[in-house]
Structure 1
């Protein structure tokens, strides 16, 4: 298996279908969350919806670079999204995350392994490998938060 295929597999594990590292993934954790739970505020914590948007924001931003575009995402905007006020809007956000995640993984699988050591958009961001590894680690970090928020919402 090529290095890019292995990275794509690791990425799919955290977002779509894996159990190896955390014994769960985004899709598993979010499958039974309704929009009221997704938008429920607990103290100063981000909501599940905010964290879901945040992860998709970065995935979509990296996809844009993978497809030859500019790096247009900015940390300061990574939580800026319109409020979710219905189950339909929540399901729309989830659908976008699943589609973007699969697209990200597919684009990654198509990259030559040699691309991993190339500069990612600008030298200050490091290599493609650094950014892809960072995306996977970032996703696990927020997966943990979502898991804990779900437990708090259920009264644990």
Structure 2
């Protein structure tokens, strides 16, 4: 394993803040298509159904009456029904993902002297916090 090369900090550990995005290894949650970059959600998809079977009849009835999705219905020469779904809508798969944790803590790699840490519930809040911190650093640098 390669050793970590770090520049020696100019300030005490308490003068720093660490922003980190991490995941818990053993935790999964249900996710929507957009969160997992689902190809069906992104590009749309076709469901080809054989309505001559009991399963196909039930699937087609569900799509037409209960799915609450936008589609066009077509027939193939073989007598199959094709439901063409537009992109940007939830597919029929149950997706799962490992949620990201958006952390901010006092200190740096040397430790957290105050023990203070925050977890943002949304990525956008973490990004906003990070951006505001960067602006404070630039302001302080200008002041000297």
User: Which TM bucket (shorter chain)?
Assistant: under 0.3
TM-score under structure 2 length normalisation: 0.28
Relative to total residues, which structure has the larger strand share, 1 or 2? 2
Looking at CA atoms only, which structure, 1 or 2, has the larger radius of gyration?
Answer: 2
Relative to total residues, which structure has the larger helix share, 1 or 2? 1
TM-score under structure 1 length normalisation: 0.26
